Structure 1
Amino acid sequence: MYLPAAFSLLNGQKVPAVGFGTFQGEDGNSKVKDAVKLALKLGYRHIDGANAYWNEKEIGEAIRESGTPREDMFHEPTDVERALDTSLKDPRLEYGAIHVQEYAHGIFANLPHAYKAGENNKTNRHPSGNRKPVIDYDLSRRYPETWQAMEKLVNSGKARSIGLSNFNILKTQRVLEIARIVPAVNQVEIHPYFPQHELFDFSSKHGILLMAHQPLGGRPVPVVRGHPEVPFPTEDADIIEIGKKCGITPAHVCLSWLVQRGIPIVPKSVQEGHMLQNIQLQELPGDLFSAVNELSSKRGGPIRFLDPGKHLGFDIFDEEKDEPVANSAPWD
């Protein structure tokens, strides 16, 4: 039995259950353009990108050359309207919006922290030469104001849907306290080793759709990679056994489990076979679904593979304190 092809947002728009991720990590962006063109040819209509990935040019060119009229990406909107207007003027992005999809126009606020921009708008590096970023601590705490700026884009018609990325419960609650428009989506790390059950329940209560990046565990770049010694869920003996029982790969066990929970996913691949299989998921039997649901507890608790705390000098996912609290890094 096949799983839902799309999920509904609070505003009535539809989001595909399976999107295509474009973050290449250490692999660089040399294959992004061809991969996006292939994904569109195979039927993907949610192409997940970001200006922080430095591959907007490749994605835009792939969209234009494929003849598919829309693309999807998010920006870190330290100046939301300027960032959106920049994309609107980009001739490569025909519909030129941030997080524009076939079904909706929208943007993600990816601001649990904010970098100070340096030359060519790239992140400034710490003067000590330790390769740490220079953080704009004041702006990092003002993300509710960023949300209010995004709401104005909905009022002006420049965006239909607005959402969050990498927000925990504490930061999402702070946004909800001032929001006129409830976030449509929160895109966060979710996989069998990090199921985010509490965040899922909280988000569902408020009508926020969780979306999973790193649905297979992912490979963040080394400076923000947590638990590098831990194998990914696709290598877990229980996941492998469930896959054998269902006649599917361990990766498809993980992806099917997420969509079955009601969570859209954005896996990435450059292999046509994997890309095609990722949009042909199937429902897991109840007992096997429950087994995946409980796997994290069985393995000793949640394991987060995206952990920028040591790189930033504070924990952006802290549920007790709304970090950053200090105005300087430990190494200053």
Structure 2
Amino acid sequence: MSTINAEQPGIDPCAIPCKVLSNGQKIPAIGMGTFGSDRFSAEQVSNAVLEAAAAGFRFFDCASVYGNEKLIGEVFKKIIGGGIPRQALYIDSKVWNDRHQDVLGSCRQTLEDLQLDYLDLYLVHWPFSNYHPPGCSVDSRSPDARPYSHERFMSTWRQMEQLVKSGLVKSIGTSNMTIPKMELLLADAEIAPVVNEMECHPHFQQPELYRYLVENGIQPIGFCPIGSPTRPDRDKTADDTCDIEDPVIVDIARRLGVHPAVVCIKWAVQRGQIPIPFSVKSAEIRSNLLAVTRDPLTDDEMRAIAAIDRHCRLIKGQVFLWEHAAGWEDLWDLDGSIAG
């Protein structure tokens, strides 16, 4: 495994802009994703997280379902032991669908695996408790799948609120929510979500949801910020393309002399969302971080990117599960969008 002292000098973390959440907590304006254990080796993922810290990343987005939190916990131990204090890091994780009725147990397991005393942010990964058991094909019907229930979700959310009160987590949030569900949550929550994590990139900008979140003081975090060129084949259709292949993105990248992925990250940060890219390549990790510190896009370029929204969701695996649930017709929200 690499050491914390990389050959190339890191970017001063103080140069990375921060967002102030509705509860006053600060969060870096870009994070490092850790979803990659299905495509890369344990050593590659470990080195990527370590390299990201050396480069200047301080926000790391984790989740129990990624299956690598024990591995990443060893990396965090090395990072903190290498001179970066815990309070300088911003670390989140998520409760998976099979633990909605045991949020405390899920959080404690994550803390043990990540070798931490607290999380800066803990999210409900999906608003449904539906999931496939290990070894079950993603396109199989789940006999235990159920339609969304606000009452069940609020039972989960009350447990999330207790985590804040107990000091195990500093902030709580949601992931993959829709406006109708968020409206219900905000009406009944004692502690409101400070973020909502969602698929968000130039070809899937979700402007209505994005605007609703901002207007209600909820910070959007966007996964797949450059599209998802390595997404599973099950999620691909004939008309899918990655954002980095879009001619508008490519033209802007040529002007700036950067990779098109950098343009996508610049767009995300300037728009106001927090991108969480993942890469195992040192040069890409550093260029992703540099994207937020130099050469901003012009107003014309921001408008040009806003015009290429294709409303194209790339990560469809969970949607497939919903559609194969018993009574899946009830999973759609009132606005006609897929629930979740």
Q: TM-score range by the shorter chain?
A: 0.7 to 0.9
**Cα distance, 1:57 vs structure 2:** 1.3
Letter in 2 for 1:306: I
Distance 1:22 1:283 in 2: 26
With over 3 angstroms needed to count, the CA separation of the structure-2 counterparts of 1:280 and 1:162, relative to structure 1, is same
Structure 2 equivalent of residue 294 of structure 1: 307
Q: 2:77 aligns with which of 64, 69, 83?
A: 64
Structure 2 equivalent of residue 111 of structure 1: 126
With over 3 angstroms needed to count, the CA separation of the structure-2 counterparts of 1:187 and 1:116, relative to structure 1, is closer
Distance 1:234 1:317 in 2: 31
For the pair 1:243 / 2:253, whether they are aligned, the reply is: yes
Structure 2 equivalent of residue 161 of structure 1: 171
Bigger shift: 64-73 or 152-161?
Answer: 64-73
For the pair 1:185 / 2:208, whether they are aligned, the reply is: no
Matches within 5 A, 1:48-59: 48-59=61-72
Q: Deviations over 1:266-292 (max 9, x none)?
A: 000001001001111131011111101
Counterpart contact for 1:16–1:45, Cα < 8 Å = yes
**Cα distance, 1:29 vs structure 2:** 4.4
User: What do you get for the CA RMSD once the two structures are aligned?
Assistant: 2.7
Q: 2:232 aligns with which of 202, 208, 221?
A: 221
Counterpart contact for 2:64–2:110, Cα < 8 Å = no
For the pair 1:75 / 2:115, whether they are aligned, the reply is: no
What TM-score does the superposition give when structure 2 sets the normalisation length? 0.81
Distance 1:214 1:135 in 2: 29
Structure 1 equivalent of residue 17 of structure 2: 5
Distance 1:226 1:146 in 2: 32
Distance 1:260 1:19 in 2: 15
Letter in 2 for 1:303: C
Matches within 5 A, 1:75-224: 75-76=95-96, 77-78=99-100, 79-88=102-111, 90=112, 93-97=114-118, 100=119, 105-115=120-130, 118=133, 122=134, 125=136, 131-137=140-146, 142-218=152-228, 219-223=230-234
Q: 2:313 aligns with which of 304, 310, 313?
A: 304
Q: Secondary structure at the match of 1:137?
A: coil
Distance 1:200 1:161 in 2: 20
Matches within 5 A, 1:310-321: 310-313=320-323, 314=328, 318-320=333-335
Counterpart contact for 1:4–1:259, Cα < 8 Å = no
Q: 1:254 aligns with which of 264, 278, 281?
A: 264
Q: Secondary structure at the match of 2:198?
A: strand
Structure 1, unaligned runs of 5 or more: 325-332
Matches within 5 A, 1:263-282: 263-281=273-291, 282=295
Q: Secondary structure at the match of 2:158?
A: helix
Counterpart contact for 2:139–2:321, Cα < 8 Å = no
**Cα distance, 1:115 vs structure 2:** 3.3
Letter in 1 for 2:35: F
Letter in 1 for 2:232: V
Distance 1:227 1:259 in 2: 28
**Cα distance, 1:136 vs structure 2:** 4.1
**Cα distance, 1:247 vs structure 2:** 2.6
Q: Secondary structure at the match of 1:74?
A: strand
Counterpart contact for 2:175–2:198, Cα < 8 Å = yes
Q: Secondary structure at the match of 1:72?
A: strand
Distance 2:193 2:250 in 1: 36
**Cα distance, 1:145 vs structure 2:** 1.8
Bigger shift: 250-259 or 304-313?
Answer: 304-313
Letter in 2 for 1:147: W
Q: Deviations over 1:223-268 (max 9, x none)?
A: 4x15354110100111101111233221111110110011111000
Bigger shift: 64-73 or 286-295?
Answer: 64-73
Q: Secondary structure at the match of 1:186?
A: strand
Structure 2, unaligned runs of 5 or more: 1-14
